[in-house]
């Protein structure tokens, strides 16, 4: 089968996966269109008061360009606070702390990112976001199925095991959560530190078997 020369999709047709409990929606663009040369996603804040870009810096070394496609947001970029109406570009170097809160209803921000000097690798977190999107939409089985498939394909990536552990902890499967978390820590000891501060594991923290 040959791939089509092009694809078309409207913003309104993109999937909506909740990323947090505040209303931030992740709208996968790269994943939907099959883009491989760079990462790109949209984020929508429907109410217009909630976070639209999580506050973070890019540990993986991606530089990112944000474009306010509709609405308005207040960005934090390093120490600066920026009022960003539709039409604003915000560029963030990998180490620069950035985040944004919507200030108008239906604010949508397009993010484009990649790592300078290397061929683009598709970020694993996309599939993890899909899984937790299903979970937040109330479909626990679909979430587990999605993460399990990711883990099966990427058995040596600690993030898959870690996030599966989170899901199992949240859904009351303590033993399975501990097993997955152990595997994640085996692959990367950093996972232990994350787990120690991750509220997803709160109900397991007193379990003598809990490894973090």
Partner 1 sequence: MSGTANVNEMALRIGDDPSWAMVRTHFDIKSFGVNAYIADEPGVRVIEEHDELGERAGGHEELYFVANGRATFTVDGDEIDAPAGTFVFVRDPAAKRTAVAEEAGTTIVIAGGKPGEAFSPSPWERNAEGLVHFANEDYDKAAETYEQFLDEQPGDAGFLYNLACAESRLGRKESALKHLRECVETEERFKENAVADPDFDAIRDDPEFLAITGQAGSAGTRS
> Per CB under 8 A, does 170 bind partner 1?
no
Residues 6 or more apart whose CB falls under 8 angstroms from that of 9 comprise 29, 32, 33
The answer to the question of residue 120 lying near partner 1 (CB under 8 A) is yes
- Classify 95 as helix, strand or coil: coil
Whose Cβ is closer to partner 1: residue 10's or residue 152's?
10
Selected from 35, 76, 157, 187, the binder of partner 1 by CB under 8 A is 35
Closest separation in Å from C-beta 17 to partner 1: 17
Q: Is 115 in the site for partner 1 (CB under 8 A)?
A: yes
Question: For 78, left (φ over 0), alpha (ψ -120 to 50), or beta?
Answer: left
Instruction: Judge contact between 207 and 181, C-beta under 8 A.
Output: no
Q: Which stretch binds partner 1 (CB under 8 A): 57-65, 142-150, 164-172, 201-209?
A: 57-65
Long-range contact pairs involving 173-176 (C-beta distance under 8 Å, separation at least 24): 174/203, 174/204, 174/207
Residue closer to partner 1 by CB (options 75, 132) is 75
Q: Which of 21, 59, 87, 206 binds partner 1 (CB under 8 A)?
A: 87
Q: CB of residue 72 vs partner 1: minimum separation in angstroms?
A: 12
**Cα–Cα distance for residue pair 15/102, rounded to 1 Å:** 20
59 touching partner 1, by CB under 8 A: no
Residue 39 CB partners (closer than 8 Å, separation 6+): 30, 62, 111, 112, 113, 114, 120, 122, 123
1 binds partner 1 (CB under 8 A): no
Contacts of 175 (CB under 8 A, 6+ apart): none
When binding is defined by CB under 8 A, the residue of 6, 21, 59, 152 that contacts partner 1 is 6
CB of 126 to partner 1, least distance (A): 16
Q: What is the C-alpha separation between 167 and 188, in angstroms, rounded? A: 19
Q: Which of 15, 20, 36, 155 binds partner 1 (CB under 8 A)?
A: 36
The binding site for partner 1 (CB under 8 A) comprises: 3-12, 29, 33-38, 40, 62-63, 65, 67, 69-70, 75, 77-78, 82, 84-93, 96, 98, 110, 112-120
């Amino acid at each position: 089968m040959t791939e089509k020369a092009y694809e078309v999709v409207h913003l309104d047709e993109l999937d909506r996966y909740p990323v947090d409990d505040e209303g931030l929606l992740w709208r996968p663009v790269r994943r939907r269109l099959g883009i491989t040369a760079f990462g790109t996603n949209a984020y929508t804040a429907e109410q217009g008061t909630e976070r639209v870009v999580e506050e973070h810096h890019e540990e993986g070394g991606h530089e990112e360009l944000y474009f306010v496609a509709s609405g308005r947001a207040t960005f934090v970029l390093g120490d600066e606070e920026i009022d960003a109406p539709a039409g604003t570009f915000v560029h963030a170097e990998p180490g620069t702390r950035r985040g944004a809160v919507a200030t108008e209803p239906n604010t949508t921000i397009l993010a484009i990112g990649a790592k300078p000097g290397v061929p683009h690798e598709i970020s694993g977190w996309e599939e993890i976001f899909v899984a937790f999107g299903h979970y937040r939409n109330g479909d626990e089985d679909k979430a587990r199925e999605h993460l399990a498939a990711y883990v099966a394909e990427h058995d040596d990536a600690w993030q898959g095991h870690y996030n599966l552990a989170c899901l199992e902890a949240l859904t009351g499967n303590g033993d399975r959560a501990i097993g997955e978390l152990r595997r994640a820590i085996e692959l990367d000891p950093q996972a232990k530190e994350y787990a120690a501060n991750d509220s997803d594991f709160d109900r397991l923290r007193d379990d003598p078997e809990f490894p973090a």
